[in-house]
Amino acid sequence: MFSHKIVGWDLADNMRSVLIINVLNKAIERRNLPKALIVHSDGGGQYASEDLRNLLKNYEFSQSMTRKNNHRAGGPV
């Protein structure tokens, strides 16, 4: 259920997958996240990395991505 609460964040001068992995790890540390969690994002390459997919698989999270170049998907993860 979407709660409008920020459970993890990070800041960088790039858009590499390590940024997303750090954010998810912070959220996992702070919350008891359900196994049925769906991580939704735009189709950016940082969200398609093998390291991120492995993290999601390890926690049994599902990944959902919109098509590339979808301007409506540029919101928060």
pLDDT in tens, 12-50: 999 899 999 999 998 888 887 778 888 888 888 888 899
pTM over the 0.75 mark:
no
Helix (H), strand (E) at residue 25: helix 17-30
The helices-and-strands tally (H runs, E runs) of the chain is: 2, 2
User: Residue 33 has what pLDDT?
Assistant: 78
Q: Is there a contact between 54 and 25 (Cβ–Cβ < 8 Å)?
A: no
Dihedral, 40, 6, 52, 28 alpha carbons, nearest 10: -120
Which residues are CB-neighbours of 33 under 8 A, at least 6 positions away?
Answer: 7, 27, 59, 61
Identify residue 74 by its one-letter amino acid code. Answer: G
User: Residue 32 has what pLDDT?
Assistant: 79
